[in-house]
Structure 1
Amino acid sequence: MAKADKKKKRLIIRTIVLLLLVSVVIYAVAFKDKVKVLAVGDMAPDFELVDLEGNKHRLSDYKGQGVFLNFWGTWCGPCKKEMPHMEKLHKEFEGKDVQILALTIKDPPLKVKAFRDQYELTFPIAIDKTEVVKEAYNISPLPTTFLINDKGKIQKIIKWAMSEEEIRSHMESIQPK
């Protein structure tokens, strides 16, 4: 009788464990966070980040201007290629209601400052330390650029490094008329 009781207990425990596992899987599938993938025409999610100089940047502060919102990383080879083009065009479009805002994901501030200094970048660079903005914009891969028009709507999403000519064309496309 003791042997039968042990088998019965073992069967009950195994059944409970199996039911718990099945419940966890069902919950994970049914209730997992559904990240909205942004598309052309959507309003760009607002955010607030601090740049390397300690200045706050809210996307909503740029309303009425086009925003070239670039997500990048110090380790990203293609990002390194497009940064000098971005800097040149940042200077070219100064005063023309088109802004470049570069966001790096979780890079250490010292590394970002060294990168900025190496490439002599003068446009605002902020670090998304908590990845909140990365998640809101569903960023993958790097570099990814969102072209945001003067009304705050996403006009185009580019998921590759661009040439100087491409960047110029895109900045012209978001310049308020």
Structure 2
Amino acid sequence: MKKKRLVIRTMILLLLGAAVAYTLYANFTKDDVKKVAIGEKAPDFVLTDMHGNKHRLSDYEGQGVFLNFWGTWCKPCEREMPYIENQYNAFKEKGVTVLAINVGDSDLAVQKFADRHHLTFPILKDTTDGQVQTAYRINPLPATYMIDKDGKVVKYHTGELTEEMIIDMMEQVKP
């Protein structure tokens, strides 16, 4: 009986050790996955918004794009949404648009969120198994790419944005 317990405990310890080793390995090598580089052409995509309209990133060439990845469950995302809405309204006539890509929420959850925050910019759904999120190597949320009129990435930011930061970012890509 003691021998059986020893074998089981040893197996459990080996499994725990393997899990710890994998976690350390994953954390130390995650930076090896390169983000879309500054100065590089932004990967093109086609996504559908909450009204069924298709949006192709390359169709926005000639204007600046504030590309924001977010989720309804993400508190920093929720806090920055009113600022994004304010600046969308201030910059849309100046040639800067907002494309907000929701990553993984249901249509109902996204619609309730948009209604609650009175969002008027296009909200796109990355429902293609997260292909756009993967192409842009998004982790964690919120994450924002600034894309200039030529379709090139000029800035990347991960984490919550203040209204001043959003203004500065939009000024950088204003055509």
Give the structure-2-normalised TM-score.
0.80
2:111 is paired with a residue whose SS is helix
CA distance in 2, matches of 1:90, 1:38: 24
Shift of 1:94: 2.1
Once the two structures are superposed, residues 7-27 of structure 1 have per-residue CA deviations (whole angstroms, 9 ceiling, x without a partner) of xxxxxxxxxxxxxxxxxxxxx
Residues of 1 paired with 2:174 and 2:35: CA distance? 25
2:162 matches 1:163: yes
Q: Paired residue for 2:74?
A: 76
> Corresponding residue for 1:67?
65
* Count of residue pairs the alignment pairs up: 143
Q: Shift of the alpha carbon at 1:39?
A: 1.1
Listed as ranges, the matches of 1:1-177 within 5 Å are 36-129=34-127, 130-176=129-175
SS in 2 for 1:39: coil
5+ residue gaps in structure 1?
A: 1-33
Cα displacement (A) at 1:36: 5.0
Give the Å deviation of 1:95. Answer: 1.4
Q: Deviations over 1:96-126 (max 9, x none)?
A: 1100000011110000000000000000001
Q: CA deviation at 1:160?
A: 1.1
Q: CA RMSD in A?
A: 1.1
Amino acid at match of 2:124: A
Stretches of 4+ aligned residues off by more than 4 angstroms: none
Q: What amino acid sits opposite 1:86 in the alignment? A: I
SS in 2 for 1:94: helix
- How far the C-alpha of 1:35 sits from its partner, in A, is 5.8
**Larger CA Rg, structure 1 vs 2:** 1
Unaligned stretches of 5+ in structure 2?
1-31
Scaled by the length of structure 1, the TM-score of the pair is 0.79
